[in-house]
Structure 1
Amino acid sequence: MPSPTIRALAICLFTHDGKILVNGAHDPVKGLSFCRPLGGGIEFGETGEQAVVREIREEIGAEVTNLRYLGTLENIFTYLGKPGHELVRVYDGQLADSSLYDRAFITGVESDGQPFRAEWRTLESFGPELPLFPHGLIDLLATKEAGTAV
């Protein structure tokens, strides 16, 4: 069995009218549904910004503009009964196709071929019953809104 590794990820916060674009998921082992912004793994030799652009293009066929780095979050978790550890580079950005902001949801495809529906959700919709991951993201969003993100 290979030793566990820390995975590098990059995600992008797309915000519109007080909502953020998230992909919902469910862990049947925990019986927990949760959400996270779009993005994915950073490939070797790729920057976080390049990973966001590639992942959004691959997942929902959209282009990203005005990327701005907000911070890095460390995410240690258990999913499907297995431990995970991620360093998540978080970016703020805009979708080049403004019509995507008018849709209630955006269909996409994960890297494993599984379809998904990303949707616009208010921050108030997240809590213990429907957490937003990675941990610390809501606090990072608050610093973004306050204009103090690094």
Structure 2
Amino acid sequence: MPKANKTHSTVDGNRLKRKGAGAGSKRSRKPAKDPNKPKRPPSAFFVFMSEFREQYKKEHPENKSVTAVGKAGGNEWKAMSDADKAPYIAKAEKKKAEYEKTIKAYNMRLAEGKNPSEQTESDKSNSEVNDDDKDDEEEEEADE
């Protein structure tokens, strides 16, 4: 008796067809993520962990294990009182407020129909860029 194939494949002539494969699949694909979309802000725990990692690495330079640092940070966070956590919560709230402003601006740009990925690399206006070019040319002429 042959073994059951876990991929649910069937043989049709010489071609092997897999269930769910091919262009005619009924699965809907997720739209591609926009690389210019602002990243979500870290939670209070992750703000704490960023500082804790640096401290832990100084105290334990021989320990390179990510899991050891994570477990030690988690245990430290659980042992902290609410008063000890307050500065990290405040930093997280501040980062969340900044994120909300940037995501609001990002969504406004999308609503206006502007693609954020098509923006220039810097925030300088064209006149400022041209001014910089003129300054460069003047410096080159002065050197000659």
Band of TM-score, shorter chain: under 0.3
More strand by share: 1
- State which structure, 1 or 2, has the greater radius of gyration over its C-alpha atoms: 2
Query: TM-score when scaled to structure 1?
Result: 0.20
| TM-score normalized with structure 2 length | 0.21
The structure whose RCO (Cα within 8 Å, separation 6+) is larger is 1
Give 1 or 2: higher helix fraction.
Answer: 2
